[in-house]
Structure formats: C-alpha cells, structure tokens
Amino acid sequence: MKKMVKSAVVALALALSLSAGVSTTANAKTKVTVKKVVSVNKLTGSKKITLTKGKKATLKTTVTVKPNKAANKKVTYKSSKKSVASVTKKGVIKAEKVGTAKITVTSKKNKKKKATVTVKVVKGKVTKVAFDQTAVRLDPNATATIKATVKTKGKKANKALVWKTSDATVATVSPKGVVTAVKPGVVTITATSTDGTNKKATATVTVSKTTLALGAAESFKADIELDATKVAADFENIVKAAGLKDTDAVTLTINARTKETTKTVKEAREFLKTNKATKVTVTVKAAQAKKFSPVAIALTSAKAVTVNGVKFTDVTATSLKIDGVAFDYTVEGANVVIAGDITANASVKKLVDAKVITATLN
C-alpha cells in the first residue's frame, strides 16, 4: 500500500513538473528580429538633405522587423553635431547653423541596426518658384515639359525641386518636369523647394476628351451594316438605339445585289429570322433617331456604320475607328466620349457642320 501511495506521489510530481515546463515555454518572449532600418527625407526620399539655416525637414523611417508590430519599430534619433542640425524624438530636423552633421537612426530592439542621414546647412534660400506655363492641355499619351525658374537669396542655395502629380492615373510627371498624359481628366502638377522654405509653383494639366452628342440636324442618314453571324441580335440593338416602334418603317438592303426594300420593324424582324443573309444594311433617318446620337448607334454590335458619308468601323468595348482613324472612347448616357481633342478631325467636323452631332472639348 505504501509503495502505491509513493508511486502516486511521484507521478503527481512528474505531472506538475511537465505542466510547469509547458507553461514556461508558452510564456516565453517571442524573439524580435530587426532586418533593416531605412531613413530618408520625407519630401524627397533622399538620404542627403540640404537645408537653409533655420528651416526644417522631416525624416521618414522604415523598420523591417519580425514580428511586424509597431512596438518593434521604435527608433532613436541622434545628431553628430546638435549645434549644426538638431533632431527631435519624432525625426524632425532643424538646421541650426551652417555646416554638416549626420543624423543616426537606431532601432531600439537591436542597436546594431542603424541608418544614417547627412544634413548640410547653408545660408542661401529659395525665395520663389515659378513655371513657364500654368495651364497645359494634352491628348492621352502626349508629353509636355514644364520649365521651372527658381529664385534664391544668399550663397550656395539649394535649388533642387521635388515634382508631384495629384493623380498619376491621369498624368505623371518626371523629376525634370516632363508631363505624360495617361487618360482624360484634370490634375495639378506641383514643384516644391527642398531647402525647407517650401516654396511652390503649380500648373493645371487637362488631358483632353471630346464629348459627342446628338445635334439638331433635321435630316441625316445612317447606313448600318450588320454582322452576318448575328443579324437578328444586331437589328434589335438598332431598334432599341433608335427608339423604333414595330410600326416604324426601315429600309433594308439584303446581300450585295438585292435592291433596297422598305419594311416595318415587325416585318423586318420576322424576315431576318427566317432568311439567311451574308450582308444586311439598315438605313436609319434623322426622324427615327431623335433621342439617340448616330455616333451612339455606331456603338451597337454592328459591323460598320456610315453616317452622312463618315464611316465608323472596328468597334470594340473601348475603341473604334472613324474613317480609318482609331480612337478610345467611353459611353456616358446617350453621349460618346472620345479620348483626346478630335474637334478638328475632318470627319468629325463634317458631322458637326451638318449638325448631326455636337463635339465639345472638355
């Protein structure tokens, strides 16, 4: 009996010991591994900073660490010469007097991981930044260069600028002021001094688009060639686009040698369902398209559309050709928006002059 009791006590002690061991392991501190510390001027992204005496710059510090937690990313900032450039706990540098100093950024979790930024303090300062143009209009994919003039006071002023766009999806800008248009829209291009004076110049860049809408023409003719593989579906698109009723008359040309024939929409619908055709052209006149632009009619799944001699072809969901010239487009309600300024395009101008459509540059 004593042996059994003793064995039970030993077993219990062993169990408690194992339990304590597991608990100790579970509560052990997670190891923090700091891989890298990077610190740069928040404005320019550079490790070299030139400031005018009395001005400030803010550092942007990135700490790569595992586990990726804010508590593990804390750093300290220290200046090699506080009399030249001081730095706050939040990484804000102030230029105190002319000279050069180094700012060391150190990880609190691993003091061996550091980053260094060089600060040069000068007397000269930027007093004004100006552009040679403040309003620029471009077609998509076109470029233009905005030239900046930097006025300074004092010696050895830092004339470097940082260029930014308000929306890179509309237009981008290079460090040398080269603007590249991407898609229709309006952006602001800004050039800012980097010496701490924060002098700026701005320009508005408009990436052109032309809105084509229904004009006031009392007469026009749109010849719409249907896709032979889906004639019935194309015809329904035209009926819907032109707002035609079953009793309205339409003119059909069936195949190449067949003469024009006039049918009601209902008769034409039945005819196209029961008769095979290699080519079908539907003619829509102005009175039948009062509420829908002939350009929008061109954006049905039709093979081609000719309006007053202007031909629309190769229509996809985002592009089309007008008399063989390709354009990107979007549909906004009953209007068609073409990317770029096409108001002077000869074919478009022909339709505008005939009041078939209006073309508004935005």
Per-residue pLDDT tens for 34-46? 999 999 999 999 9
Confidence of residue 290 (pLDDT cuts 50, 70, 90): low
Q: Where in the chain is the domain with CATH 2.60.40.1080?
A: 33-122, 125-207
Candidates 277, 299, 303; CA nearest to 357 is: 299
Give phi and psi for 296, each to the nearest 5. -70, -35
pLDDT of 65 above 90: yes
d(CA 268, CA 222): 17
What is the share, in percent, of the chain residues with pLDDT greater than 90?
A: 59
Task: Calculate the average pLDDT of the chain.
Answer: 86
Provide the β-strand partners of residue 58: 92
Query: What pLDDT is stored for residue 10 in this prediction?
Result: 39
What is the share, in percent, of the chain residues with pLDDT greater than 70?
A: 86
Average the pLDDT over 149-165 and give the result: 96
CATH number of the domain at 125-207, out of 2.60.40.1080, 3.40.50.150, 3.65.10.10, 3.20.80.10? 2.60.40.1080
Cβ(302)–Cβ(240) below 8 Å: no
Q: Name, of 190-199, 233-242, 258-267, 268-277, the range with top average pLDDT.
A: 190-199
pLDDT of 306 above 60: yes
Provide the β-strand partners of residue 165: 189
Average the pLDDT over 127-139 and give the result: 98
Look up residue 54 and give its two tokens.
């009395």
Residue with tokens 């000068």: 122
Average the pLDDT over 80-109 and give the result: 98
d(CA 104, CA 47): 11
pLDDT of 9 above 50: no
Query: What pLDDT is stored for residue 105 in this prediction?
Result: 98
Q: CB-hemisphere CA count at 13 Å for 284?
A: 30
What's the Cα-to-Cα distance from 162 to each of 151, 158, 169, 219, rounded to whole Å? 15, 12, 19, 56
Query: What pLDDT is stored for residue 13 in this prediction?
Result: 38
Candidates 279, 258, 280, 278; CA nearest to 268 is: 280
pLDDT single digits (tens) 244-263: 889 988 888 877 666 778 88
Confidence of residue 15 (pLDDT cuts 50, 70, 90): very low
Residue with tokens 């003719």: 221
Provide the β-strand partners of residue 307: 222, 310
Task: Provide the residue type at 262 as one letter.
Answer: T
pLDDT of 22 above 60: no
pLDDT of 25 above 70: no
Residue with tokens 């010469």: 81
Lowest model confidence (mean pLDDT) among 22-26, 104-108, 131-135? 22-26
Fold category of 33-122 in CATH: Immunoglobulin-like (2.60.40)
pLDDT single digits (tens) 214-230: 888 877 888 888 877 78
Confidence of residue 176 (pLDDT cuts 50, 70, 90): very high
Query: What pLDDT is stored for residue 229 in this prediction?
Result: 78
Average the pLDDT over 89-112 and give the result: 97
Report the run of H or E that residue 9 belongs to, with start and end: helix 2-26
pLDDT single digits (tens) 352-362: 999 888 999 99
Confidence of residue 113 (pLDDT cuts 50, 70, 90): very high
Confidence of residue 293 (pLDDT cuts 50, 70, 90): low
Which SS3 state, helix, strand or coil, does residue 265 take? helix
d(CA 243, CA 177): 50
Confidence of residue 3 (pLDDT cuts 50, 70, 90): very low
Provide the β-strand partners of residue 348: none
The reported pTM is 0.78
Query: What pLDDT is stored for residue 72 in this prediction?
Result: 96
d(CA 309, CA 311): 6
Candidates 212, 144, 214, 208; CA nearest to 339 is: 208
Confidence of residue 288 (pLDDT cuts 50, 70, 90): low
Look up residue 258 and give its two tokens.
């067949």
Average the pLDDT over 322-331 and give the result: 89
pLDDT of 26 above 50: no
Give phi and psi for 349, each to the nearest 5. -60, -35
Which SS3 state, helix, strand or coil, does residue 45 take? coil
